[in-house]
Structure 1
Amino acid sequence: MILKIRFHACLLMPLVLCLARPALAENSRPVSAPVTVYVQEALDERGQVQAIAPGLVKFFQFFERETGLHFIPVSMPWNRAKLMTQEGKGLIWGFSKSPERLARFDFSETVLRSRIWAIAYGEPIMRLRNVTDLQGKILSVERGVSHGMEFELAKNKVFKVEEDTAQSSARFRKLLAKRSDVLLWGLVQFDRQDMLLDYLYKIYLPSLRDPELLGKKFYVSSTPLFYDSIHFAAAKGHFGKEMQKIDVAIRLGLKSGELNRLVNAVD
């Protein structure tokens, strides 16, 4: 979701990123056998997988220091990451809860909460204030991504969902072409519409380097339409001890404020 710690490509669309590369533990504890952590790949404007963001490296370093575990982040498409996790081959980071997932995975305590905004384009301007305003609309979400329990309960009842590539520019171009009505965008940092729009136009869209998107006037919902809790997760019956250590680290990090600083850090 893609979880953007400002995990920039993560801004969650959705909050997770990149190439397989271990985060280097900075601690004096004995380090256990490496634990693979699957994260959602983020694609650049050419469709190439982006390298892991410095903010995410520091995030995993925090958990290594607090748990004594050694994490090896592996970036891959989200559906494949879910499958590998379900087969007990590693943990997954950036996972949202859904009724289906709760039956198959054990979740850590909540690491962060993401605000899920709606973005649209063109005339007539839709009212986007709550879930009921999405009635009958086609929503673009990243392939394999959930936006939490309320989203799952409304999916295919209030609105329809089309799962799209993780390449952000392609999703925005789909809005321009009227092939979707609304794009859902998960962000941790911003709680006001004006702050989101400022980031969208001054930083995010220019960073995509897509001339088709420059100068286009998208609009966003007045408030987030969903709120999503973000977790580590493991297949049921796997990595129980590791998940316990992660939960302890989450509680400590939230109490000290270090985790909040990490997930809101600027790259």
Structure 2
Amino acid sequence: MPCFLRLFVCLLLACLSQAAPVHAQTNQHAVLLMSEEQSDEGKVMPIPAAVKTLLRYLEQHSGITFDVRRYPWKRALENAENGEGLIFGISKTQERLRSFKFSQPIFTDLSLLVTRCDSKFVFQSLDDLKDKTIGIVRGTSNGDKFDRLSNVLFKVEDDTNNNSRRLEKLYLGRMDAFLLYSSTNNISQLEKRLNRQYAAKFATQFTTNQTKEKLFCILPKPVSSMDIHIAVRPDLDQGLIQKIDRAIARAHQEGELARVYALR
């Protein structure tokens, strides 16, 4: 092979060897842990359309491909603490700030009290929950003050993220209310949807007059309003949160997050 050709081949190989790592860095793969909700049959329900849309957008604009793994929330949180990967849907608490690096807020979730309409109560502050039993999804936070007063001012009933079973507990009187997590401000619409979706299951246990009324009521004042993030253990970050933050900022600017909220 002529000298000039050998030199050309060597230079070409050198360029290719330098280009490969750059390409790999722009297409990071990351495990993303998420909460799962199960149906009455015990099957994991599909990821909501709004969340799928959001994840596709974040992947496209962050250069990160998510390997989504779903668990009951408490286990997802523990696995993230143990370093399995990023976690989606997490709110900040003083304790979690010591364990995780957080993205910018993606959306805001309200913690809303669901009661039986025939035994609803007035809620203006946490003092109104005194001596009541409140259902929460195991491992979730509803603000530092609520968490601190749990099983002190009021009793907590730990649940899985299965709304049908939680409503059954409520109907049977095992709790006075449970916390439903939603980003919507249209409480009336959410209440109608909840009754439309689940009330039929209990219809045979109510009289004809009762079934004409709402079975379940959502109290208008939320227990808390929590910003929701993606987070990861700081030692495993590797620039992931910075890339996700840039994608979140772009989603805000382009109105993508507003469109996602409309689907929730």
| Structure number with higher helix proportion | 2
Instruction: Please give the alpha-carbon distance, in whole angstroms, between the structure 2 residues aligned to 1:130 and 1:256.
Output: 37
Number of positions where the alignment pairs a residue of Structure 1 with one of Structure 2: 235
TM-score, normalised relative to structure 2: 0.80
Q: 1:126 aligns to what SS in structure 2? A: coil
2:69 is the alignment partner of 1:74: yes
Partner of 2:192: 198
- Cα distance in 2 for partners of 1:211, 1:40 equals 27
1:163-189: CA deviation from partner (whole Å, max 9, x where unpaired) = 112221111111111111111001112
Residue type of the partner of 2:249?
R
Using the alignment, how far apart are the partners of 2:143 and 2:253 within structure 1?
A: 24
> In structure 1, which of residues 244, 250, 258 is the aligned counterpart of residue 256 of structure 2?
258
Equivalent position to 2:105, from 97, 105, 110: 110
Q: More displaced, 246-255 or 118-127?
A: 118-127
Cα separation, partners in 2 of 1:54 and 1:122, compared to 1, 3 Å? closer
Given the alignment of the two structures, is residue 221 of structure 1 paired with residue 219 of structure 2, yes or no?
yes
Contact 2:28 2:63 in 1 (8 A): no
Distance 1:90 1:235 in 2: 8
- CA drift of 1:233 comes to 0.7
Q: Which residue of the partner structure matches residue 146 of structure 2?
A: 151
Secondary structure of the corresponding residue to residue 135 of structure 2: strand
Aligned partners of 2:31 and 2:68 also within 8 Å: yes
Which residue in 2 is equivalent to 1:165?
A: 160
1:221, distance to aligned residue in structure 2 (A): 0.9
Question: 1:114-125, aligned counterparts within 5 Å?
Answer: 114-121=109-116, 123-125=118-120
- For structure 1, which runs of at least 5 residues remain unmatched after alignment? 1-28
Cα contact 1:79–1:143 (8 A) shared by 2: yes
- Aligned equivalents of 2:31, 2:48: Cα separation in 1: 17
Tell me how far apart the structure 2 counterparts of residues 130 and 160 of structure 1 sit (CA, whole Å): 16
RMSD: 2.4
Per the normalisation by structure 1, the TM-score is 0.79
Given the alignment, which residue of 48, 53, 57 partners 2:48?
Answer: 53
Higher Rg: 2
Q: Provide the rounded CA distance (Å) in 2 between the counterparts of 1:263 and 1:125.
A: 28
Secondary structure at the counterpart of residue 200 of structure 1: helix
Q: Percent identity?
A: 27
Instruction: Give the aligned partner of residue 188 of structure 1.
Output: 183
Take 1:99 and 1:160, find their aligned partners in 2: how far apart are those partners?
22
Maintained 8 Å contact 1:47/1:167: no
Q: Where does residue 239 of structure 2 map in the other structure?
A: 241
